[in-house]
Amino acid sequence: MKRSDLTEFEVEEQGFKIKIKRNSGEPAIVGVAPGYSSHPFPIAAPAEAPKPAATPAPASAGGEEAGFAYVKSPMVGTFYRSPSPDSPPFVDVTSKVEEKSVVCIIEAMKIMNEIQAEVKGTIVEMLVENGQPVEYGQRLFKVKVS
């Protein structure tokens, strides 16, 4: 920047924006503008953020059944029932689970994340199909608590 007498440089690509200022006499502010992210893929607009909160709302309005719990997705990604296409599923309906039992995998950004039941009981319903995209907080399994 010194050699070419540049005092300001700005780059914007795929939702990432960086701005650099040199010796302009005012404080330099570097950051991400609203609506931009350092994430390499587009992410949901803030208007969609309340969606996960909307999922539990019907449950608290009478949808929760005593003695049952739900395994929920801790992230946005793709739901898989087994560790590979040739492997049996982690759990099926009637499978007994413990708090640390792996019940599925959610792929997010090419990383396979094992999801644990976090509750002790029996799987009574599968709420997501294999290979289906899931949202943060989405219910994956219904568990009869024991």
On average, the pLDDT of the chain sits at 77
Model confidence over 37-56: pLDDT tens digits? 444 444 444 444 444 444 44
| 124: CB partners within 8 A, 6+ apart | 68, 93, 94, 142, 143, 144
pLDDT score recorded for residue 23? 63
3-state secondary structure of 49: coil
pTM: 0.56
Domain architecture of the chain: domains with CATH: 1-45 (no CATH), 67-145 (2.40.50.100)
Model confidence over 53-88: pLDDT tens digits? 444 434 444 456 889 999 999 999 999 999 999 999
pLDDT score recorded for residue 72? 96
